[in-house]
Chain A
C-alpha cells in the first residue's frame, strides 16, 4: 500500500487520534472517582491539620476513608456565608456524603465581585469550637491556598496549613513544608481595626508584640507577598462573620453577669473583655 498518499495519511491520522481519544476518555472515566476521592481527602486533611487534630504526614498514612471518618467525627457543622457574614446554607458533614466548598478559585473571583459564598467548617475539639476557613491566592508560579483555624470566638488563630501548586521547592514551597512557618500563626489574630490589611507577613522580621504580623520566609519573598495578599483578601471577606462571632461571644459574657451567675464566670467574662480591649488599643496604637 502507498503509505504516502493523501487519503491514507488523512485516514491514518484520524484513526490514531480517535483511538487515542477513546483510550484517554476510558482511563479518565475509570480513574475519576479515585482521583476525586484523593482531592477530597487531601482538602479535608489540610483542614484537620490546620485545626490541630493531626499532622498532614500522619493523615497521609491513614488513607482516604479514615480521613473522611475523622472529619465526620470531629466536625460539628459546616455552612456557607455571604459577604455580610450571614449564613446562607448548610454543607453535608455525614461521612457518606461530605460536601465541601472547594472551588476556592471561583470564590476568589466572587469575593472580588462582592458576591461570594464562603464556607465555614466548625470542628469541636476538647469541648471548644474551632472555626476553619480557607484562603486562596496567587504565589510566584501558580495558585497557593490554605486553611486557617480560629478559636470559638474567632479572636485567636489556633493553627494554619498552606499548600501550593508549583512554588519553588526549598524556597516558596516552604509555606507548606516548614512547620515553623505555620506554627507562627498560633496565637495571632486578625486585625479588625485595619480591614484592608488585617494580616501581615513581614520580610525582615515582624515586631514580636504585633498580634497580626508574622515573619516571612527568606528567599521566598514573592510567595510570601502572594500569601499575605491572599490572607488579606480572604480575611477581609470573612471579617463580618469573624466580628459577629467575637461580638456574640462578648454578649454571652455580659448576659451571664447580668443574670448573676457564679463568681468564676463573671471574672472570666471581665478578664476576657479586658484582654480584648487591651488588644484593640494596641492595634490602634
Chain B
C-alpha cells in the first residue's frame, strides 16, 4: 500500500509527467512561462486545484450519476479555480494581476479533468488527493524549467533580478509563445533519451 502511494506520488513527476509524457496542459504552459514568478504562482495554483478537485470528486465518486459526471466534475473544478482566484485577488493582488486570465483558465487545463477521469473516479480520497497534488507538481516542475530558460534568455533576469550582464541583448523570440514550445520539445527530447521505453519504434 505504501509502495503504491509512493508510486502515485512520484510517477507524475518524471516517468508519467502530465506535460512531457501525457502532453496535457500545453497551452497554459506556453502562456505563463515568460517569468519565473508567474510560473511559480501558476504552478502552486494548479497543484491546489488538481489536489482539491481530485479529493472532492473522489469523495463524491460513488454518488455521482454517470450520465452527468463530466458536468459535476466541471462544477467542482470551477469552484476550486474561482476560490483560488478570489483568494489570490485578496492576498496576492500583484501576482493575480500578472497571471490575469490564466488562473481562470485552469478550469480548461486538461490535467485537472484528465486526472479526475482517470484516477479520482475509481480511487479512494487519500490516493486521489496525492495523485492530484503530484500531477500538479509534475506540471509545475516543467513550467518552472521552461520559465527559467525563458526569463534568463528573454529578459536576462531570474525572479526579476538581473543575472546576465547589462550588455546581454535580450532575445525577443524567447518571450514569444513559439519558443516555449521549442524549449518544451527539448525537455521531451532529454526525457526520452534518458527513459528509453518512451521512444516509439
CB neighbours of B101 from chain A (8 A): 166
Interface on chain A toward B: helix, strand, loop, or mixed SS?
A: helix
B34 surroundings in chain A (CB, below 8 A): 169-170
Closest A residue to B160 using CB positions:
A57
B66–A4 contact, CB under 8 A? yes
A170 pairs with B75, CB closer than 8 A: no
What sequence of 0s and 1s flags, for each residue 135-161 of chain B, a beta carbon within 8 Å of any chain A beta carbon?
Answer: 000000000000000000011000000
Are B175 and A35 neighbours in the complex by a CB distance under 8 Å? no
Give the CA-CA distance A219 to B175 in the complex, in Å: 11
Question: Do the beta carbons of B90 and A170 come within 8 Å of each other?
Answer: no
B63 engages A12 (CB within 8 Å): yes
Q: Are A16 and B86 in contact (CB under 8 A)?
A: no
Give CA–CA (A31, B176) in the complex, Å.
35
For residue A64, which residue of chain B has the nearest CB? B93
- List A residues 60-89 near B (Cβ within 8 Å): 60
- Bound CA span A170–B64, Å: 45
Q: Is A193 an interface residue (CB 8 A)?
A: no
- Which residues of the other chain, A, contact B154 by a CB distance below 8 angstroms? 170
State the CA gap A229–B12 with chains docked (Å): 49
Which residues of B in the span 21-50 have a Cβ within 8 Å of any Cβ on A? Answer: 34-35, 38
Bound together, the chains give a CA A13 to CA B68 distance in angstroms of 8
Contacts of A168 in B (CB 8 A): 175
Q: Given that A60-B94, A166-B101, A170-B172 are known contacts, is A35 also in contact with B89, CB under 8 Å in the complex? A: yes
**Contact between B75 and A16, CB atoms less than 8 A apart:** yes
- Would you call B126 an interface residue if the criterion is a C-beta within 8 Å of the partner chain's C-beta atoms? no
Q: Output the residue of B64, B65, B175 with the most chain A CB within 10 A.
A: B65
Q: Are A12 and B64 in contact (CB under 8 A)?
A: yes
Residues of A within 8 A of B63 (CB): 3, 12
A146-187 toward B: CB 8 Å interface, digit per residue (1/0)?
A: 000000000000000000011011110000000000000000
Q: Is B164 an interface residue (CB 8 A)?
A: no
| Bound Cα distance from A23 to B93, whole angstroms | 21
**B71: CB under 8 A from chain A?**
yes
- B-side contacts of A165, CB under 8 Å: 100
Q: Please pick, from A24, A31, A219, the residue contacting B89 in the complex, using a CB distance under 8 A.
A: A31
Tell me, rounded to whole Å, the shortest Cβ–Cβ distance linking A104 to chain B: 16
Judged by DSSP, the binding face of B is helix
Chain A residues with Cβ below 8 Å from B68 are: 9, 12-13
| Alpha-carbon distance between A165 and B96 when the two chains are bound, in angstroms | 11
The verdict on A31 contacting B64 (CB below 8 Å), with A42-B93, A166-B100 known, is: no
Query: In the complex, which residue of chain B has the Cβ closest to the Cβ of A33?
Result: B90
Q: Residues of B contacting A23 with CB < 8 Å?
A: 79, 83
Q: Is the CB of B75 within 8 A of A3?
A: no
- B103-134 near A? 1/0 per residue, CB < 8 Å: 00000000000000000000000000000000
Cβ of B172: which chain A residues have Cβ within 8 Å of it? 170-171, 219
Q: Which of A16, A17, A34, A60 has the most CB of B within 10 A?
A: A16
Contacts of B97 in A (CB 8 A): 42
Q: Is B82 an interface residue (CB 8 A)?
A: yes
B contacts, CB < 8 Å to A:
34-35, 38, 62-68, 71-72, 75-76, 78-79, 82-83, 86-87, 89-91, 93-94, 97, 100-101, 154-155, 172, 175-176
A: residues with CB less than 8 A from B are 3-4, 8-9, 12-13, 16-17, 20, 23-24, 27-28, 31, 34-35, 38-39, 42, 60, 165-166, 168-171, 219
Q: List 15 A-B contacts (CB under 8 A).
A: A13-B68, A16-B75, A20-B79, A23-B83, A24-B82, A27-B83, A27-B86, A28-B86, A31-B86, A31-B87, A35-B86, A42-B97, A166-B101, A168-B175, A169-B38
**9 additional contacts, CB 8 Å, given A23-B79, A35-B93?**
A3-B62, A9-B68, A12-B63, A13-B65, A13-B71, A17-B75, A27-B83, A31-B90, A171-B175
